[in-house]
Amino acid sequence: MYKSNYMKIKISNIILGLVAVSFGITGCQKGDLLSNPNVAAESSTIPSSLILNHITANLMKDEDPIVSTVWKWNQNTVSNYTYYYGNNSYNWSTTGTTYDNIKYCFKMEEQAYKAYGNKTNVYFALSKFFKAYSYIWLTQRVGDIPMSQSNNVATLEPKYDTQKDVYKQSLALLDSANLQLAALISTANANTKVDAGDIFGLTYLQWQKAINTYKLRVLISLSKRADDNADLNIKSQFAAILGNSTLYPIMASNSDNVVYKYNSAYNQYPPQRYGYAQYNNCINISKTWIDATVPNKDPRVIALLSPGNLSIDAANPVGSFSNYVGQVQDSSIAAMKFTFTNNTYLASLSYNRYMTPSNIGGTISEPYILVGYSEMCFNIAEAINRGWATGATAKSWYDKGVQASLDWYGIKQGGTVTVGNNDGTKPNIGTATLDVNTFLTNITYAGDNASGLTQILKQKYVSFFLNSGFESFYQWRRTGIPAFKEGGVGIGTPTFTIPLRWQYPVDETNYNTANNKAALQSQYGGTDDLNAKMWLIK
């Protein structure tokens, strides 16, 4: 435990963020300055549901779609005009942290114990999941982190756990969370929401599915360590989940997705919330994403994007894939602006789909996925392709993943899309008919070989479009698929290459200096190097 705002916080400060209490104050009386009437007492019992709400809302940190730099770093979108959308540089340095969420997990446990008198209730199970999620969020950014000593109030400078041990402990937390939920779930409550106020609105069974589905993500992210760390049992843990659906239920459809929903009343879709809709022509689609879709005649291109302003003509009618050209991610902003101005074929986000106010209630613009069914299908397909599990074929899961992504975006064979331009001035250029069958034929699974693995990874990347945080980046970092564009000045780093990690949080260097230096020495030769490889990807 140390004096930064990581792991040490008074209960009064926590409660202040969770509970607002109204008092009538008529004048200055003796004792007025002795306590804050807007803060509950240290001994107060706070509903665990309120703390759960804080934790789940906090998961959306750094996840805001479209206007967030994450989509540029995932090579989904590209800014062509600095004034409105910034540059495309991978010029990050220190990372944020998730220790705030971890503190709230312990506080949720404390309050749940007060309320229920046991440590086996649902809030303890969810706390284990959120702890694992939070520790993994940070370790995959920097490497070794404090974990086992991070909530010890007697330790102001916690030692670092190795990244391997962080994953080992986190996997154990996820397994324990699953088993604890399994013991709580009955026929009567399986389809009951854990908490009506929870922003995800998941039932007991859906939370269990989410935990096991997330564990599959974590295990597949360890693919480079699967053969040289026998004690982690990476392959066998993955196979165990697939082999016992009773003990380890996983997502069965998109209806099980962990999603953050938008509405027009108080939680608008970000382009509307921040007033970016009118500047949609200042951001294009990355050539990386276009290269993964257009050659296959992927209908998601037509459904999700706007074509270049003047690209449609007799030779290139509405619905023609030649109307959709990607922007090169590593070019300079000056070159991008010139290309956008002089090349009318560059694709942008569909104004009709993502920018029109009438669509912000969720009827067209999809909610934001944190952990989803489509990704899970591709993770299972990858594991089977790698020989980790038997039973259902990699092809069957690959096909399910593709179909789930199409379903998520509302794309069906023969469906129609009203195509508009990128700034909303021409909302109806024409109508395009979506051809799903040709696309599915073009991406027929090549088999359990290197080509098949590449197909799985590319389709998973496409399915991550505008969702799932940094998962596209982490997949590229782990596998190199798809090949991200780098080498040009637009990358913004000294060597024009994409960084492989973030630097440690400022609080670590300021308040846990000795342990931070030791961790840097053991991992990266003493330098907080953005280009160094952590244990996870060596």
pLDDT tops 50 at residue 121:
yes
In order of 140, 438, 456, 485, 528, the CA distances from 523 in angstroms are 14, 48, 32, 27, 9
pLDDT tops 50 at residue 301:
yes
Burial 475-496 (b: 16+ CB within 10 A, else e): bbbbbebbebbbeeebbbbeee
The predicted model gives 162-187 an average pLDDT of 98
Lowest mean pLDDT among 9-23, 430-444, 492-506: 9-23
- Put residue 367 in one of left, alpha, beta given phi > 0 → left and psi -120 to 50 → alpha: beta
Name the fold adopted by 270-487: 1.25.40
Burial 348-382 (b: 16+ CB within 10 A, else e): bbbbbbbbbeebbeeebbbbbbbbbbbbbbbbbbb
Q: List the one residue out of 216, 285, 222 whose CA is nearest residue 251.
A: 216
What is residue 491's DSSP assignment?
Answer: G
What is residue 307's DSSP assignment?
Answer: P
Is 43 or 326 the better-scoring residue by pLDDT? 326
The answer to whether the predicted template modeling score (pTM) of the entire model surpasses 0.85 is yes
Q: Give the chain's mean pLDDT.
A: 88
Q: How far, rounded to the nearest angstrom, does the alpha carbon of residue 418 sit from its chain's CA centroid?
A: 30
User: In terms of CATH architecture, what is 11-20+32-53+95-256+496-537?
Assistant: Alpha Horseshoe (1.25)
Q: What is the pLDDT of residue 38?
A: 59
Is 128 or 42 the better-scoring residue by pLDDT? 128
Q: What is the pLDDT of residue 14?
A: 40
Ordered by start, the domain boundaries in the chain are 11-20+32-53+95-256+496-537, 270-487
Report pLDDT digits (tens) over 255-299: 999 998 877 776 777 766 666 777 888 889 999 999 999 999 999
What is residue 423's DSSP assignment?
Answer: T
pLDDT tops 60 at residue 7:
no
Same fold, 11-20+32-53+95-256+496-537 and 270-487: yes
pLDDT bin (cut points 50, 70, 90) of residue 393 is very high
Q: What is the pLDDT of residue 43?
A: 67
Q: Is 81 exposed, middle or buried (0-12, 13-18, 19+ CB in 10 A)?
A: middle
